[in-house]
A and B are shown apart, each in its own frame.
Chain A
Amino acid sequence: MTSPPKEYMRRIKPFSFLTEDELNLLVENLDVEAYEKGTTIVKKGKQSKYIFLVFSGVVGLYDDDTLVDTISKGEIFGILSAITGNPFSLSAVAMDDTICYRIKKEAFKKVFETNPKFSAFFSTFINRRFRSFTNLLKETEGTFQEEIYLTRVKEIVSKEPVVCKPDATVEEAAEVMLEKNVGSIIVVEEGKPVGILTDHDLKKVLISGNKAAKVTEFMNSPVISVDEEQPVFEAYLTLINKGINYIVVVSDGKVKGVITSKDILTQFEPSSSLIALYRKIRKANTIDELKNHLKGIRKAVAGLAIKGVHFYELSRMITSVYDSTVVRVIRMIEDEFRQKGIDLPDYVWIHVGSSGRKEQIIATDQDNCLIHDGDGKVMLSFAERVNEALDHVGIPKCTANYMASNPKWNLTLSEWKKNFKEWFNSLTGENIRYLSVFLDLRPIYGNQKLYLALLDYVKRSVTNQAIRFLALDATSIEPPVGFFGVKGLEKGLDIKLYGIYPIANGVRVLALDNKILDVTNTKERIEKLRNLDVLSEERAREVLESYEFLQELRLKHQSMSISAGGEGDNIIRLDEIDRIDAYVLKEALKIVSSFQNFIRGKYRIEGGF
């Protein structure tokens, strides 16, 4: 008999160690409760009858009024209290509408005491949790305070100031504000700010009804300002103390810009900073504005990863940020060409490789190409400009030169078709490498028809021999898992080479064979292959989980390195990961091995050709 709670729990790590009977015992003692946002689930100092597994929503753990940690989907709280019998040391409050699976603590304790693997996991888990509690506290406080002290105001002013003269009318000022999409305008006389007019003041005008009045009549004066060399913290204090929303930034008494408390908070709160970034990018008008916005992205991503945002969520967010940056840049360059009177033919800008798969996270670079149906020369100079501009805003050029500015990858539809035909039929090492890059193609901007036509051609012209060669390639590098664990982990193991690539490549082979190339993301491909019964439920789940785990391990590793000012590589060493991760890494690599065997069997490449 399958019951959803059981199936759900079975997939969450510690519960996966349980026997059927033990799981049944927990499910017999389980209920599901929904908490409205703001409800206190357990109060500090109280006993609870349950341990809680968060099914959806977010729970905040509070020490009186201080938020200590958040618990989200798939995480558990209340274990320590259930095992020791001590009251809750923190209050648990639903921060959003939250649904929890609640297991009676007697049943939980019973399983805990009888299953050594289960309890070993929890003991480590509890220790780690507590360590990360304190670390997290230190980290967030540390970084927030440090950064807000160290960062200077000028570093977070990203826009040119929006100004008007004192004799402007309110209507004129409002028009400018609307056009520039800002909430305030600075009234300037001889470069010096004499007042500020904000959205709030415009409401007053609306009521008084006189939009022909001079701005000086409604502006706030004198202007409250901060010197651009001051630490951001000073500006923040001023904003709070004066109870205002906008503060004018000056240098030598001259206007440099405006910042809001939102600007400051988003700068220092990593999760909202990505969203804010996305919004800013969509609004950016010049390449340099884009560059300013993107500056903080690597640190923001690293911060989020360290805080535990999952790979799939994070990669989705990053992909939208980068995609919209690319689209903004392309549009700007298009304008540039149009102004010069140069006509561009129909074309489509395409991302390939990991960017095509929507799997770029921190160490990201450009992987692009384009299909056009016109003048190759014009498109080449256009692509050169785009690649340069992207490099300038902070998406570095591809070292392997997989870029649209490379004449090899800036082609008409029929030239692209010829490429694929050649690659599929002459399976040299180089061509196999091209295929593994260009089979993950995702249109970003332009005429989709060109992309669809190419995709259709690729699906029709793929050969069985090509699929077998790609399968051989995907299984040629085997993870070094031996009887006693992962070999070479002490010295360092390249998890991209031995874990991530074998999965992504193997999945691509299956995707190609089943003609689902329009899906490029590895996770989505696996899900699709599962739905087509190419992968069994069991294998799909295992591979998905391993892939996520490996990507997350890599992400955490790179984030740590970047937070410490490094560049981030893919080499994981035993001493940097804890027991659970080492254990899971071994399991994940075993799954990679088994997946490779599956591919070998399916394409009959046991022992090569």
Chain B
Amino acid sequence: MNLREARFSVIDLETTGLNLLKDEILSIAIVPMKGTKILAGESYYTFVKPETYDLKSMKIHGIDPKTLEKAPKFSKIAEEVKKKIGDSVIVGHAVEIDFDFLKKAFKAEGIELKNKCIDIALLEKWLSDRLGERKCTADLSLDSLIRDYNLSVRFRHDALADAFLTAQIFQIQLLKLMKYGLTSLERVLSIIESTKMTRIDFIF
């Protein structure tokens, strides 16, 4: 499929932690893209009430526990999220972790997610190796990508803001890919696969 025709869902989750076994999703942001176009108006953002997590013990996130208390449980929104994602390619920063959380949450609802994923950090690494614009050991955290792509914003990031900024980075990466002559989605996906293999030296 041509990249310009491809559908992407740029996602960002906030979770109670990074342990897939015991941590839970607190919010989900999805920014859809068609080709290089970011469909900002169709963005989706919701808080999720965790199943077992003790909200009183929560400190780190800027999310107000009261908001989460009132938020729907994942089972209530699963269908809506599934519809929003469809069979698009999931895009995110260090997206594998987020995607694992989503898969786990969906599995509990009896739904299996089979979407392909693109990690913008991996893509950045590949692009910089190829185009020689950045040292491969450079910092690939979302914050420094935001800085490098001149997208700095001055307000606190929530999941939606991060998803949107990720989409803006991915948009410019797509332009670079197309300039480089890479116009097929399948080719990009295989690049991501091959980059994963060599990511031992990968520093976040």
Residue A335 is within 8 A (CB to CB) of chain B in the complex: no
Q: Known contacts being A8-B153, A33-B36, is A99 close to B164, with CB within 8 Å?
A: no
Complex partner residue of A4 from B36, B37, B164, CB under 8 angstroms: B164
The answer to whether B121 has its CB under 8 Å from any CB of chain A is no
Given contacts A1-B160, A4-B164, A34-B175, contact A28 B41 (CB under 8 A): yes
B39: Cβ under 8 A from any A Cβ: yes
Known contacts A4-B161, A4-B165, A8-B153, A34 near B174 by CB under 8 Å: yes
Chain B residue with minimal CB distance to A73? B150
CB distance B171 to A34 under 8 Å? yes
A27 with B171, Cβ < 8 A, contacts A1-B158, A36-B178 known: no
Interface string of B150-190 (1 = CB under 8 A from A): 11011110101100110110011011001100000000000
Set B37, B150, B156: member contacting A32, Cβ < 8 A: B37
User: Does A364 sit within 8 A of B, measured CB to CB?
Assistant: no
Cβ-based interface call for B43 (8 A) = yes
The answer to whether A31 and B37 touch (CB under 8 A), given A7-B153, A36-B175, is yes
What separation, in Å, do the CA atoms of A101 and B40 have in the docked complex?
A: 9
A-chain residues with CB within 8 Å of residue B155 when the two chains form the complex: 2, 7, 537
Q: Is the CB of A1 within 8 A of B40?
A: no
Q: Are B36 and A2 in contact (CB under 8 A)?
A: no
B99 contacts partner chain A, Cβ-Cβ < 8 Å: no
Is B45 at the interface (CB under 8 A from chain A)? yes
Interface size class of chain A, counting residues whose CB lies under 8 Å from the partner chain: 20 to 34
Interface string of A79-105 (1 = CB under 8 A from B): 000000000000000000101010010
Task: State the Cβ distance, B174 to closest chain A Cβ, in Å.
Answer: 7
A-B interface contact total, Cβ < 8 Å: 67
Q: Is the pair A537, B154 in contact by a Cβ cutoff of 8 Å?
A: yes
B171 touches A99 (CB 8 A): yes
Knowing A3-B43, A27-B40 are in contact, say whether A36-B179 is a contact too (CB < 8 A): yes
A5 at the interface (CB under 8 A from B): yes
- Looking at the assembled complex, report how far the CB atom of A94 sits from the nearest CB atom of chain B, in whole angstroms: 11
Contact indicator A3/B168 (Cβ below 8 Å): no
- Bound state CA distance, A569 and B153, in angstroms? 36
A8–B179 Cα distance when bound, in Å, is: 28
B90 at the interface (CB under 8 A from A): no
Residues of A within 8 A of B160 (CB): 1-3
Given A2-B160, A8-B153, A31-B39 contact (CB < 8 Å): yes
B38 at the interface (CB under 8 A from A): yes
**Known interface pairs A1-B45, A2-B158, A4-B161; A32-B153 also in contact (CB < 8 Å):** no
Tell me the interface secondary structure of chain A in the complex.
Answer: mixed
Q: How far is the CA of A530 from the CA of B175 in the complex (A)?
A: 34
Q: How far apart sit A541 and B40, CA to CA, in the bound complex (Å)?
A: 25
A2 and B38 form a contact (CB under 8 A): no
B18-40 with Cβ < 8 A to chain A: 36-40
Whether A29 is near chain B, meaning CB under 8 Å from some CB there, is yes
Chain A, 1-24, contact with B by CB distance < 8 Å: what is the 0/1 string?
Answer: 111110110000000000000000
Q: Closest CB of chain B to A524's CB: distance in Å?
A: 14
Give the nearest-CB partner of B40 in chain A.
A30
Q: Which residues of B contact A541 (CB under 8 A)?
A: 154
- The docked-state distance in angstroms from the alpha carbon of A5 to that of B171 is 15
Report whether A2 and B178 are in contact in the complex, using a CB–CB cutoff of 8 Å: no
Smallest beta-carbon distance B13→chain A, Å: 16
A56 within 8 A of B: yes
- Which B residue's beta carbon lies closest to that of A541? B154
Q: How far is the CB of B63 from chain A (nearest CB, A)?
A: 11
Task: Chain B residues near A104: list those with CB within 8 A.
Answer: 41
Do residues B158 and A32 form an inter-chain contact, with CB atoms below 8 A?
no
**Roughly how many angstroms separate A30 CA and B41 CA in the complex, as a whole number?**
5
Docked Cα-Cα span, A27 to B38, in Å, equals 12
B122-148 to A contact mask, C-beta < 8 Å, 1/0: 000000000000000000000000000
Q: Which 4 residue pairs across A and B have the least CB separation, nearest first?
A: A32-B38, A34-B36, A30-B40, A28-B41
Other 20 A-B pairs with CB < 8 A, given A7-B154, A7-B161, A29-B41: A1-B160, A2-B155, A2-B161, A3-B40, A4-B161, A4-B168, A5-B164, A7-B153, A27-B40, A28-B41, A32-B38, A32-B171, A33-B37, A34-B174, A36-B175, A36-B178, A97-B175, A99-B168, A101-B40, A104-B41
List 16 A-B residue pairs with CB atoms under 8 Å apart, sorted by A's residue number. Answer: A3-B43, A3-B161, A4-B168, A28-B41, A30-B41, A31-B38, A31-B41, A34-B37, A34-B172, A34-B174, A36-B175, A97-B172, A99-B168, A99-B172, A104-B41, A530-B154
